[in-house]
Structure 1
Amino acid sequence: MTALAIINARLLDPASDYDGHGAVLIADGRIVEVVRGGDVRVPAGVEVVDARGLCLAPGLIDIRVKTGEPGFEPKETLKSASLSAAAGGVTTIVIQPDTDPAVDDPAMVDFIQRRGAALNLVNVYAAGAATQRREGQRMAEIGLMHEAGALYFTDGDRVIASSRTLQRVMSYAAAFNALIACRPADPWLSEGGVATSGELATRLGLSGVPAIAERIQLDRDLALVEQTGARFLVDQISTADALDSLARARGKGLEVAASVSINHLCFNEIDIGDYRTFYRLDPPLRPESDRQALIEAVRDGLIDVITSAHAPLPAEDKRRPFAEAAPGAIGLETLLAAALSLHHEDGVPLLDILRPMTAGPAALLGLDSGVLEPGAPADLVLFDPDAPVIVDAATLKSKSKNSPFDGRRLQGKVVGTWVGGRKVH
């Protein structure tokens, strides 16, 4: 492989808290040298990319990506998701297990990862189902899927309502330090709800989901974590009350991480406006006070991971009455620009924004990427943080176009994406 030097860059490395001028030398798919405060001496025959002062950071890692493959290919394929990721500066994606059939055995894990590797675009991993067919009744083959390379285990959008089943899953997973992720949503309080309970939902005549449903379920899950000693990820936290429960669990020394979707950092319940179904999400969009609490949790490091929560849906699933529309939004290609709005509009430092999309998920999942240091994979994104962008869903690379950012003005443009030293965008 041809060696590559990216010079005259603004290096952003959240793992070492470095934000400054520098250069990176790459060979054989790995970072060979990182020069901070200057430029690398480029050997003869090495390809040179002059960053011209643009930001160079580790490629983003998105741990919550849905595709339609296998089973629902018209929504999204692994190829179209990978192309979307590369265009958005995302170099690693973790596929959710809600395919058909579900990713609940080692053969399905192997299929996802072999198919992703054959595409030769971005790094593709699988998350295994925690229970068989994601039905919440019987534990899936967690041990064998772990050996096959599944990075963590979750039933995705489905809540494991049975405390006994979740206790068994956690106890078994704890034996080999596997990570379990669960959505915190009491299934009975949340049943049938399409918006956050409150004045707006009442005025619009929409069935509400009370915020307390998230905290109730999270408190149950955290109690089981304390009892079993499992590693646990709170999947898509969205309320201030749940953040309080998370902070208390951390104070007890429990090994608990939390993710938040970019949608809940950028939008609030007012955005559903006159029943705009592209803002029909699960969990639903929350009040502005919750959004601000989530932003502060990112700034303070309480939240470990920001995800795109990429959930492609065809027009026929979205262009329906709000209560009947399927929940979800695409987000791979807009993840970085959307996250940068927290810097431009809320003053969050760039390193604090990038950390939960690079070093944070890498550490959580045991990956050696997400850092700018010798020996790390040359998974990189070069971007202009100030370049204006108007999102046009029709031009996005995803097969589905259900983006809540459609028509929105953002700042932040991906100039180049490298995976293992190969330029993929």
Structure 2
Amino acid sequence: MAVGCGVGPAAAQDLAAGPATVPPPQQQEESRGDSGIRLALGYTGEAATNVRGGLHRDAAYAGQVYLGVDADLGRLAGVDGGTLHLAVTDRHGSNLSAIAIGNNTSVQEIWGTQNVHLAILTYEQRLLHDRLTVEAGRSQANLYFLNAPVYCQFQTNSACGNPTFIFKVSNFTYFPASSWMARARLSLGGTVYAHAGVFEVNPDRRRPGDHGIAFGTGGATGVIIPYELGIAADGASVRRPHHYAIGGWLDHADYDDPLRDDQGGIAITSGRPAAIRHGRSGWFARFDQMLTRPDPTSLRGLTLFGVAMTNIEGRTSETHFLELGLSYAGLLPGRERDTLGFVINDQRFSDLALGAMRAARRTTGGSAEVPRHQYMMELAYGAQLGPAVRLSPNLQYIVHPDQSGAPFRPRDIPDALVLGLKFTVDAPAWLVRPAR
């Protein structure tokens, strides 16, 4: 399953900025003027081909049209600090990992929920002189938690839009599949903040025929509650922007057992439905730190980032996730918005997941020796071509593809080398500028 964030035009993101604290439309190149209306319109495309390894050689393309609207209710209706957020997506294309590699973490983060979808419909209110932000409506957990602009300098879904582990071991909701939610973020003084939310878990919202406009909760199985305590230091006055956070999640919703079926057998070989469990939890620590910034008036410089995650309770298919990356902005003279980045992560599979893989292999006479770790890495260059277009060729490598897409294959899937190309196109300001 791919759970790409793909939250619209990205060309104007501040490359030194940290995790989003508001919905993605406010992170983009927008036009508001005096009307109180901000619009964002853009297209993201991602192509990929495995030139070596995987199940067989192939190519795939996935894309998304994004339309976002923010209405400043202070200007429009005299409600100081109030903002209405709306976003719609239209996704299309195919997933190379599913059709040619065989692993369950896509090399195209934009793939997932392939239809026209109401992605965001929320009301946000800032209180206590902007120290407290509360928001409620229809949205997704991954827009607010475990999210940083540096992650989506890459195309791999193992890093962008969020560390992939959270989607493998919990019901963390993902863009653009919206459900009911509420969150609150409180500044505790200086750069320290606390942030928590509650998000409806409803499998119906993930079905191919769901377009985000069914507001009922009949199919809900519970909620997921992410939380974090962090430090966020950025802006023009900060020489080396940095963000540090620790947190976790309480998943009070149903999930499929990764090994057993509803009668206690092994689901992958019995063909019976998986046993339904309830309740999981986990924790994370993450950071991004700018290490060098030769010119404080420029975005140029080197940033180091990392993530560590593990589960605490529940039966899960993975036990931990580690990620480390580097990004250099403005490596070439006169190209300060260009980026060169490298990211690598380690996904460690649980004994339950390995038991299922071994059982499937034995049915075809294959080896029971299954790799416990999957390593995914990417080298990407992002070229900003004017104000509206960003082009990001990338090279990805997958060591020990997890074989979830071909569980009865009797031997390991060969390591995969993938060539990728990610691009974003923003609508010109004159096109999205509202009439006065």
Both proteins in one fold, TM over 0.5: no
Normalising by structure 2, we get a TM-score of 0.31
Higher relative contact order (CA 8 A, sep 6+): 1
Higher strand share: 2
Higher helix share: 1
Normalising by structure 1, we get a TM-score of 0.32
